[in-house]
Amino acid sequence: MLSEAKNHMLTRVGPGTPMGELLRRYWHPIAAVSELAEKRVKPVRLMGEDLVLYRTDTDEYGLVQRRCPHRGVDLGQGWVEGESLRCSYHGWMFDRSGSCVEQPYEDMVGSSAPFRDKVRVDAYQAVAFAGMVWAYLGPAPAPLIPMFEPFTWRRGFVQIILSELPCNWLQCHENAVDPVHFEWRHTNYIVRETDPGSPDRGPQHSGIEFQEFEFGLAVARSAELTTVLAAPVAPTSRLETSGIACLWPNVLYTGSNLEWRVPVDDTTTLNIVWNYSPTPTDVPAVEQDSIPYWYGPVADDDGEMLTSHILNQDFAAWVGQGAIADRTSERLGRSDEGVILLRKRLFADVERVSRGEDPQGVVRDPESNECIVLPLDKRQMYRDGVERAFFEERLERVFNWRLNDDPSYAVQFGQPESVRREFERAMGIGPDFLNLRGQLPDSASGECDV
Ligand code: FES
Ligand SMILES: [Fe+2]
């Protein structure tokens, strides 16, 4: 349980708020590179600030305030010229540093001291990395984007999934240190939905463990197999190989997935999944000139939250906690040890930032950023690919985790067919392979590594 003041501190993300200042010390992914390849100007909202992201002629990225300082027109309606963004109302133009570089009428009739020298827009850094466009809204100098181990792998197919959730970022991220929810929100929920009368249960947790390291909290657990059921998580894991960690300040890592909970504002979160599927060793490594992305819907046509797939089950739970979870009335138990550790770290880092120090997990040394090793089992599989038979068995297993016959990406609802086809080509599987796999019966107990 937290006081109202402390809950307020952890959840408010606008400029000048303690948590807003902490989160501004890190880079955050905010869009997919392929998205900006299709559409060069994209309005974005980030930590309560309305901004416009754009791609220049040299494939650099600009990120500036959304309102034109002239008379407030939306710069998201503007267009790119060279390295700058032009407002579509009277043609004022701003470069990536925020300087006004043209005011067509004023320049025509003006004096030798141009009016444009007195006008600026707020501007932030934005760069492309790992198929995503990242933003940094903090003070200079900006740190490095952490080279987490999965970004160094070259033997897999990557896709990026974006979803906007109508709730505060922290309740989403607390899920990263909450292993007991796997048992209930996923395994037992799937059993209940599939067969309401079934007495079956997934493996029951008998212990959870957390260990802080430089970049986050490694998560491990033990569980007892009460019945033989397909489970989306390994029944037991060790800290160093669990393959699950909460990374500072807002990332869930599960081996093949990195998942950011980026605050759009106090009551909206952009969930971005960077998903890596290792390819079978009998096909060549994938050369992805552009990494596919898609927006995953979170509700159906009636506005009901979707719960057919693992990530959608999580999304519905977080949104169900309210726009901003009320931590003044919660009753934390021993299953919440990780949640408590995460909050302690955030409070400590708020203090560090207020003293002018870097918070935990900020990287500035290029040498130590060549590859940030994370807890992981089966490292070789991710680096070198998987045997064909193992690949097929994993796909079948993961299809058991969703509650319909959708043959697309089984972990989140809504993968477009074009991305599914790209996946099939990369994996060397025919067009009906996933359809067929989508209909196969349950086969094996599983692990959260797909
Ligand atoms: S409002 Fe943008 S140039 Fe006039
Ligand atoms: Fe989950």
How many domains does the chain contain in total? 2
User: What are the phi and psi torsion angles at 190 (to 5°)?
Assistant: -65, -40
User: For residue 81, how far is its CA from the centre of ligand 1 (angstroms)?
Assistant: 16
Q: What is the mean pLDDT of residues 263-271?
A: 98
> Do residues 402 and 309 make contact, with C-beta atoms less than 8 angstroms apart?
yes
User: For residue 104, how far is its CA from the centre of ligand 1 (angstroms)?
Assistant: 11
- pLDDT tens digit string along 142-196? 999 999 999 999 999 999 999 999 999 999 999 999 999 988 999 899 989 988 9
125 assigned to some structural domain: yes
Q: For residue 407, name the pLDDT band (cuts at 50, 70, 90).
A: confident
User: For residue 341, how far is its CA from the centre of ligand 2 (angstroms)?
Assistant: 19
User: For residue 19, how far is its CA from the centre of ligand 2 (angstroms)?
Assistant: 24
Q: How far apart are CA 51 and CA 64, in angstroms?
A: 5
> Do residues 145 and 127 make contact, with C-beta atoms less than 8 angstroms apart?
yes
Three-state SS sequence of 321-369:
CCCCCCCCCCCCCHHHHHHHHHHHHHHHHHHHHHCCCCCCCCECCCHHH
Q: For residue 241, name the pLDDT band (cuts at 50, 70, 90).
A: low
Asked which of 78-87, 210-219, 338-347 is least confident by mean pLDDT, the reply is 210-219
- Predicted local distance difference test score (pLDDT) of residue 310: 94
The ligand 1 atom at the shortest distance from the C-alpha of residue 72 is: 1
270 assigned to some structural domain: yes
Last residue of some domain: 95, 110, 142?
142
135 and 175, same structural domain? no
Residue among 252, 291, 303, 256 at smallest CA distance from 410? 256
The ligand 1 atom at the shortest distance from the C-alpha of residue 71 is: 1
To test the ligand 1 pocket, which listed residue (64, 75, 81, 92) has its Cβ within 8 A of the most ligand atoms?
92
User: What are the phi and psi torsion angles at 97 (to 5°)?
Assistant: -85, -5
400 and 338, same structural domain? yes
- Predicted local distance difference test score (pLDDT) of residue 238: 64
103 pLDDT above the threshold of 90: yes
Question: Which is it for the CA torsion 296, 13, 142, 124, positive or negative?
Answer: positive
User: pLDDT exceeding 90 applies to what percent of the chain?
Assistant: 77
Two structure tokens written together for 37: 């390849």
Q: For residue 399, name the pLDDT band (cuts at 50, 70, 90).
A: confident
Report the mean per-residue pLDDT for the chain.
Answer: 91
The ligand 1 atom at the shortest distance from the C-alpha of residue 92 is: 3
179 and 119, same structural domain? no
Last residue of some domain: 121, 142, 163?
142
> pTM score, two decimals?
0.93
> Do residues 353 and 21 make contact, with C-beta atoms less than 8 angstroms apart?
yes
- pLDDT tens digit string along 414-448? 999 999 999 999 999 877 777 666 554 443 333 33
Q: For residue 3, name the pLDDT band (cuts at 50, 70, 90).
A: very high
73 lines ligand 1 (CB under 6 A): yes
Asked which of 279-293, 325-339, 386-400 is least confident by mean pLDDT, the reply is 386-400
pLDDT higher at 323 or 199: 323
Q: For residue 242, name the pLDDT band (cuts at 50, 70, 90).
A: low
183 and 95, same structural domain? no
362 and 224, same structural domain? yes
5 assigned to some structural domain: no
165 and 70, same structural domain? no
265 and 411, same structural domain? yes
2 assigned to some structural domain: no
- pLDDT tens digit string along 361-374? 999 999 999 999 99
> Do residues 96 and 103 make contact, with C-beta atoms less than 8 angstroms apart?
no
- Predicted local distance difference test score (pLDDT) of residue 236: 61
Q: For residue 396, name the pLDDT band (cuts at 50, 70, 90).
A: confident
200 and 109, same structural domain? no
Cβ burial 24-35 (10 Å sphere, 16+ → b, else e): bbbbbbbbbbbb
* SS3 at position 395: helix
User: pLDDT exceeding 70 applies to what percent of the chain?
Assistant: 92
First to last CA, the chain: 34
Structural domain including 76 reads 27-142
Q: For residue 113, name the pLDDT band (cuts at 50, 70, 90).
A: confident
User: For residue 287, how far is its CA from the centre of ligand 2 (angstroms)?
Assistant: 31
Two structure tokens written together for 243: 């393959």
- Predicted local distance difference test score (pLDDT) of residue 229: 45
Q: In what order do the strands lie in the sheet with 257-265?
A: 204-213, 216-224, 245-247, 251-253, 257-265, 268-278, 156-165, 293-295
305 assigned to some structural domain: yes
221 assigned to some structural domain: yes
115 lines ligand 1 (CB under 6 A): no
Two structure tokens written together for 131: 């198929």
Last residue of some domain: 78, 112, 142?
142
Opening angle at CA 338, ends 332 and 343, nearest 5 = 80
Q: What is the mean pLDDT of residues 79-102?
A: 98
87 lines ligand 1 (CB under 6 A): yes
185 and 124, same structural domain? no
296 and 169, same structural domain? yes
374 and 257, same structural domain? yes
133 and 38, same structural domain? yes
9 assigned to some structural domain: no
> Do residues 184 and 307 make contact, with C-beta atoms less than 8 angstroms apart?
no
DSSP string computed for 216-282:
EEEEEEEEE-SS----SS-SB--TTTS--EEETTTEEE-SSEEEEEEEEETTEEEEEEEEEEEPBTT
- Predicted local distance difference test score (pLDDT) of residue 230: 44
Residue among 172, 127, 151 at smallest CA distance from 31? 127
Residue among 123, 131, 80, 128 at smallest CA distance from 99? 123
Two structure tokens written together for 372: 């940030």
- pLDDT tens digit string along 204-227? 888 899 999 999 999 988 877 554
To test the ligand 1 pocket, which listed residue (67, 89, 107) has its Cβ within 8 A of the most ligand atoms?
89
> Do residues 143 and 25 make contact, with C-beta atoms less than 8 angstroms apart?
yes
- Whichever domain contains 122, its CATH number is 2.102.10.10
The ligand 1 atom at the shortest distance from the C-alpha of residue 73 is: 1
Whole-angstrom CA distances from 75 to 70, 84, 138, 302 are 11, 11, 22, 33
268 pLDDT above the threshold of 90: yes
Helix residue ranges, H only, 96-200:
104-109, 169-174, 180-181, 189-194
Residue among 397, 264, 346 at smallest CA distance from 2? 346
Two structure tokens written together for 241: 């190989």
298 assigned to some structural domain: yes
| Residue carrying structure tokens 């408590």 | 340
Q: How far is CA 136 from the centre of its chain?
A: 15
Q: What is the mean pLDDT of residues 32-49?
A: 98
- Predicted local distance difference test score (pLDDT) of residue 74: 98
How many separate helices (H) and strands (E) can be counted in the chain? Answer: 13, 18
How many Cβ atoms from other residues are within 10 Å of residue 341's Cβ? 16
71 lines ligand 1 (CB under 6 A): yes
